[in-house]
Amino acid sequence: MNDDPDPILRPFIVTGGRTHPVDQRLRVETLVSAAPAALAAPLGFERRRIVELCRLPVSVAEIARGVGVPVGVARVLVADLLAERLVTIHASVTDTPNVTRELLERIRDGVRAL
């Protein structure tokens, strides 16, 4: 018999078993920033760690890496923090109709200048 807990199940314990984020805007590249009040808020380990990582804007993928959880778990945790207004998220280029040619050209010019 295999008594090992399912390696996927364990990460989702921190989300209370939930696998579905409450906010669908959270992509792997979505940038997340901590709200000023969040740094002083009483938070559990993973949530505290996320808030600390987000002092400067970082992506959901970087949060997953920083907390050591799969992306799906990070997404649920960030969605909760977002609902509690402890973090804010920033737009991705392709989020809205605001993906202008000017913005795309800024990206291209930025890559060219690297």
Partner 1 sequence: MPSDPVSAKIVVSGGFGVGKTTFVGALSEITPLTTEAALTEVSRGVDDTSAVAAKSTTTVAFDFGRVTLDGNIVLYLFGTPGQERFTFLWDDLVDGTLGAVVLVDTRRIGDAYPALDYFESAGIPLAVGLNEFPDGERYALEEVREALGVAAGVPLVPCDARDRTAVKRVVLALLDLVIDGA
Interface segment toward partner 1; rule CB under 8 A; list 39-47, 77-85, 104-112: 104-112
Q: Which residue has the tokens 């795309």?
A: 104
End-to-end CA distance of the chain: 55
- Residue 43 DSSP code: -
**Binding residue count for partner 1, defined by CB under 8 A:** 47
Pair 39, 51: CB distance under 8 Å? yes
String of contacts with partner 1 for each residue 23-62, x by CB under 8 A: ----xxxxx-------------------------x-x-xx
Minimum gap (Å) between residue 65 Cβ and partner 1 = 4
Q: Quick one: 40 or 110, whose CB is closer to partner 1?
A: 110
CA distance 17 to 57: 27
Interaction between residue 101 and partner 1 (CB under 8 A): yes
Q: Cα dist. 59→5, 16, 43, 64, 109 in Å?
A: 29, 23, 20, 9, 22
We find the least distance from the C-beta atom of residue 41 to partner 1, in angstroms, to be 23
If phi over 0 gives left and psi between -120 and 50 gives alpha, with beta otherwise, what is residue 80?
alpha
Give the interface with partner 1 as residue ranges (CB under 8 A). Answer: 6-9, 11-12, 16-20, 27-31, 57, 59, 61-62, 64-65, 70-73, 90-95, 99-101, 103-114
